[in-house]
Homo-oligomer: A and B are copies of this chain.
Amino acid sequence: MPNTSLPSIAILGGTGKEGPGLALRWASVGYTILIGSRRLEKAQATAAGLNSMLNSNTIQAMENGPAARMADICVLTVVQGAHQAALESLKDDLQGKILVDATARVDFRDPRPPAPPSAGRIAQNILGPGVRVVAAFQNAPAHSLKKNLGGSLNTDVLVCADDLPAADQIIQLAQAAGMRAFYAGGLDNAIVVEGLTSILLSLNQRYGVKTASIGITGVEK
């Protein structure tokens, strides 16, 4: 059963690879999860699959707009080509919320690092000051998220935001999902985190693996 003292989370564009993995991890530790999609039937199919994996029926399906309005925290996990249009269509629904932007605008066929502004900065510019934008989870490995539910993952999440209390909430969310998380500066810094995807793809290709990852050291006091 969801723990109603925890914030509820809408995964907007939650029918791809990244969104369902995050949804599973949070649902498995008690968060109320709403899967959002432009099409209700797609959201329903994804939610049904996730509920089946969890042997529950707690994950709900909605269209993106109603999901955004109902949730305390929204996580945007659309593909890069849908990023701007999704934000523009959800601008009204997102007012007053925290919007976590997980978009890394790297084209896998031409994986050069993107130029500023960061996806998070673009989101903030579209949504205006009434939405607290946090950039995070751009590199969370989709294939790992579904493993060891309720346990920990060997993944570090770099959280960028101009709003420190909002960043702290998302650091807590990442930790609840079993990932280490660090505050890595303002929204403009998120362009580096997006670009790390290019580095990881190059490492995977050069070293013949699929598991290259970047970890933070030296911040223990």
Contact = CB atoms under 8 A, between A and B. Distances in A.
A154 B218 CA distance: 10
Interface string A101-122: 0000000000111011000000
A188 to B, nearest CB: 5
Interface residues of A, number: 40
A125 interface: no
Looking at chain A's contact residues, the main secondary structure is mixed
A129 interface: no
Contact of A218 (B192, B209, B217): B209
A154 B221 contact: no
A17 B206 CA distance: 32
Contact of A214 (B186, B204, B212, B217): B217
Contact of A115 (B115, B185, B207, B217): B115
A182 interface: yes
Contacts of A196: 192
Contacts of A115: 115-116
Interface of A: 111-113, 115-116, 154, 158, 182-186, 188-189, 191-193, 195-196, 198-199, 201-204, 206-209, 211-221
